[in-house]
C-alpha cells in the first residue's frame, strides 16, 4: 500500500486559519463555500490542510472571510485586526439572519447607497425654501450633463400623496422614513445627478450624514429677506397670510439650521450672484478639472 505523503506545514497552517476565521464568524462550511464559489468538498480539504488551492480560489475564500490572502498565508499578519473584522462580520450576519426578502432588500439598498462606487458625481443642493435650489439646480445639471431630481417630488411619487397629505395623514416620522428610503434608492443606482433636497433634511441626522458621505453638498446661502421675497415672487402668499410674525420665525429657523447647513462642502451666497453666475461658479468648482 502506498504511503500518504506528509501534509505541507504551510497548507495545514492556512487550513487551520481558514477554519478558525470561519467559525469565529459563525459560518458553516456550506455557507462559506456558497459565498466564495469554492465547492464544500474542496473547502473541507482546504481546512484539513489537504487542498492545494489555486490563487484565484484562495483569493475568493479570503474575500468571503473579510480578510486577504496575505493575512491567511503569513502567520505574522495582524490577527487582532482580522479577529475584529470577523467579530463585526458575525454581528452583521446575526442582524440580517432570518430577515425577510423585503428587509434584506432594504439592507442592500442602504449598503449600495453608502458604499457603491459611482460613475458620475451626485451634487446635493441644501438650504431653506427660496434658496434657489429649484432654479439653479436644473441649470447646473444641464451645465454638467447630469439629471436633475427634486427629492420632495420623488417622495410624493413614491407615496402617491402630496407633501401636505403625507404630513396630515401620516405625520413627520413617516415623511422622514420616506425621505431616507427615496434618497437611498437614488444614491444606489450609481448614476450622477443634481438633487434639490428639502429644507429640513439637515434635521434628520442619519439622512444628512448619508447625504454628506455620498454626495457633494452645496449650501445655497441667502438672507432671510431673499428667502421671503423669492417665495412671494413664486406666487406663494402663505408665508405672510395670517402670520404676523412670519419674518421673525423665518429668521429664527435660518439661525437654528445655519450650523448644519454650514457643514456642506461648498457654500455659495446667492445674494451675491444671479442664477447664471451662480451656475457658472458652481460648475467651475464642481465640474471636471
Domains of the chain in start order, with CATH, are 1-78 (1.10.260.40), 116-286 (3.40.50.300)
pLDDT at position 289 is 47
Q: What is the C-alpha to C-alpha distance for residues 161 and 153, in angstroms, rounded to an integer? A: 10
Nearest to 101 by CA among 109, 113, 89, 90: 109
Q: Of 20-24, 84-88, 122-126, 285-289, which has the strongest mean pLDDT?
A: 122-126
Choice among 6-10, 114-118, 282-286 with the minimum mean pLDDT? 114-118
Burial 205-233 (b: 16+ CB within 10 A, else e): eebbebbbebbbbbbbbbebebbbebbee
**Average pLDDT over all residues of the chain:** 82
Give CA 145 to chain center in angstroms.
22
Beta carbons of 246 and 238 less than 8 angstroms apart = no
pLDDT at 26: 75
Lowest mean pLDDT among 30-39, 51-60, 207-216, 222-231: 51-60
Cell 402668499, residue located: 237
What percent of the chain has pLDDT above 90? 37
Lowest mean pLDDT among 118-122, 151-155, 206-210, 221-225: 118-122
Residue 237 has pLDDT above 60, yes or no: no
CB within 8 Å of 201: residues ≥ 6 apart: 126, 151, 179, 207, 208, 211
Section 151-178 average pLDDT: 93
* Residues linked to residue 123 through DSSP beta bridges, in sequence order: 194, 216
pLDDT at 163: 92
pLDDT value at position 75? 62
19: Cβ contacts below 8 Å, ≥ 6 apart: 47
Amino acid at each position: 500500500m502506498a504511503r500518504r505523503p506528509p501534509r505541507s506545514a504551510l497548507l495545514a497552517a492556512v487550513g487551520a486559519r481558514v477554519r478558525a476565521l470561519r467559525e469565529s464568524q459563525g459560518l458553516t462550511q456550506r455557507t462559506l463555500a456558497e459565498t466564495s464559489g469554492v465547492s464544500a468538498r474542496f473547502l473541507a480539504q482546504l481546512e484539513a490542510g489537504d487542498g492545494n488551492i489555486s490563487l484565484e480560489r484562495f483569493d475568493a475564500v479570503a474575500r468571503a472571510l473579510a480578510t486577504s490572502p496575505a493575512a491567511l498565508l503569513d502567520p505574522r499578519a495582524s490577527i487582532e485586526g482580522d479577529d475584529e473584522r470577523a467579530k463585526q462580520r458575525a454581528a452583521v450576519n446575526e442582524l440580517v439572519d432570518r430577515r425577510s426578502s423585503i428587509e434584506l432588500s432594504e439592507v442592500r439598498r442602504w449598503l449600495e447607497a453608502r458604499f457603491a462606487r459611482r460613475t458620475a458625481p451626485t451634487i446635493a443642493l441644501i438650504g431653506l425654501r427660496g434658496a434657489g435650489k429649484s432654479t439653479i439646480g436644473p441649470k447646473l445639471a444641464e451645465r454638467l450633463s447630469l439629471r436633475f431630481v427634486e427629492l420632495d417630488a420623488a417622495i410624493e411619487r413614491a407615496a402617491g400623496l402630496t407633501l401636505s397629505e403625507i404630513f396630515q395623514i401620516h405625520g413627520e416620522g413617516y415623511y422622514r422614513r420616506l425621505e431616507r428610503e427615496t434618497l437611498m434608492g437614488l444614491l444606489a443606482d450609481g448614476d450622477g445627478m443634481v438633487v434639490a433636497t428639502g429644507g429640513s433634511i439637515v434635521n434628520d441626522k442619519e439622512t444628512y450624514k448619508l447625504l454628506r458621505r455620498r454626495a457633494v453638498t452645496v449650501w445655497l446661502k441667502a438672507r432671510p429677506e431673499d428667502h421671503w421675497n423669492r417665495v412671494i415672487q413664486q406666487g406663494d402668499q402663505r408665508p405672510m397670510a395670517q402670520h404676523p410674525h412670519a419674518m421673525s420665525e423665518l429668521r429664527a429657523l435660518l439661525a437654528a439650521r445655519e450650523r448644519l447647513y454650514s457643514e456642506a462642502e461648498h457654500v455659495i451666497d446667492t445674494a451675491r450672484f444671479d442664477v447664471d453666475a451662480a451656475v457658472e461658479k458652481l460648475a467651475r468648482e464642481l465640474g471636471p478639472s
